[in-house]
Amino acid sequence: MKRIWGFGREKGMSPLGSASGLQRQGRGVGQKNNRIDNLLLGYHVQERDLRKIDKAACVGNTVQVQQILFLGENGVDDRDKMNRTALHLACANGHPEVVTLLVERKCHLNLCDHENRTALMKAVQCQEEKCVNILLENGAYPNIRDVSGNTALHYAAFGDTISIIEKLLLYNVNTEARNKDNITPLLVAVNENKQQIVEVLVEKAANIHAEDKLKSS
Mean pLDDT estimate for the chain = 81
Residue 130 exposed, middle or buried by CB count within 10 Å (0-12, 13-18, 19+): middle
- Residue 6 pLDDT: 24
- Residue 12 pLDDT: 35
- Answering whether pTM is above 0.85, one says no
Distance between CA atoms of residues 10 and 15, nearest Å: 8
Crossing angle, helix 162-169 and helix 195-216, to 10 degrees? 20
Tally the C-alpha atoms within 13 A of residue 136's C-alpha that lie toward its C-beta: 24
Per the CB < 8 A criterion, the answer to whether 1 and 12 are in contact is no
- Residue 21 pLDDT: 57
As a whole number, mean pLDDT of residues 125-146 equals 97
Confidence label for 205 from pLDDT (cuts 50, 70 and 90): confident
Percent of the chain with pLDDT over 90: 69
The superfamily in CATH containing domain 22-141 is Ankyrin repeat-containing domain (1.25.40.20)
Per the CB < 8 A criterion, the answer to whether 11 and 194 are in contact is no
Distance between CA atoms of residues 50 and 161, nearest Å: 30
Distance between CA atoms of residues 120 and 166, nearest Å: 15
Which has more confidence, 76 or 46?
A: 76
CATH no. for 153-171+178-217: 1.25.40
Which has more confidence, 32 or 8?
A: 32
- Residue 16 pLDDT: 39
